[in-house]
């Protein structure tokens, strides 16, 4: 079952999604500051996003929706391919370790 998030009808729909990759990092969270609230007066009305610059970062940055730069299709594909190559090499290492421990081959 997919989790569901309900957004009130009088709010704008967010342009970006959780876990989306952007030029500034990966979106980990979002908040909406409705018009007429203290937060909206202080930071601006609308969606604000929490981004982690990379998966090894312990920093979190906050951006307004219009400050976020989406990745081009080529940039996104490049990042995904790099992740696939990384995880495939990790799988190969783990398979070698397993084979060494069990005395047999785990390929196949």
pLDDT of residue 2: 76
- Give buried/exposed letters for 41-70 (b at 16+ CB in 10 A, else e): eeeeebbbbbbbeeeeeeeeeebebeebee
Give the mean model confidence (pLDDT) for residues 68-97: 96
- Measured over the CA atoms of residue 71, residue 16, residue 52 and residue 44, the dihedral's sign is positive
pLDDT number for residue 29 = 95
pLDDT in tens, 9-68: 989 899 999 999 999 999 999 999 999 999 999 988 999 999 999 888 889 999 999 999
The answer to whether residue 69 scores a pLDDT higher than 60 is: yes
Residue of 22, 12, 79 lying closest to 50 (CA atoms): 22
- Provide the whole-model pTM: 0.77
């Amino acid at each position: 079952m997919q989790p569901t998030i309900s957004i009130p009808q009088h709010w704008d729909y967010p342009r970006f999604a959780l876990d989306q990759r952007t030029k500034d990092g990966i979106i980990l969270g979002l908040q909406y500051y409705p018009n007429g609230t203290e937060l909206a007066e202080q930071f601006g009305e609308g969606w604000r996003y929490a981004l982690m610059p990379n998966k090894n970062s312990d920093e979190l940055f906050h951006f307004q929706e219009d400050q976020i730069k989406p990745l081009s299709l080529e940039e996104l594909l490049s990042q995904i391919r790099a992740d696939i190559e990384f995880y495939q090499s990790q799988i190969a290492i783990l398979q070698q370790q397993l084979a060494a421990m069990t005395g047999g081959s785990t390929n196949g």
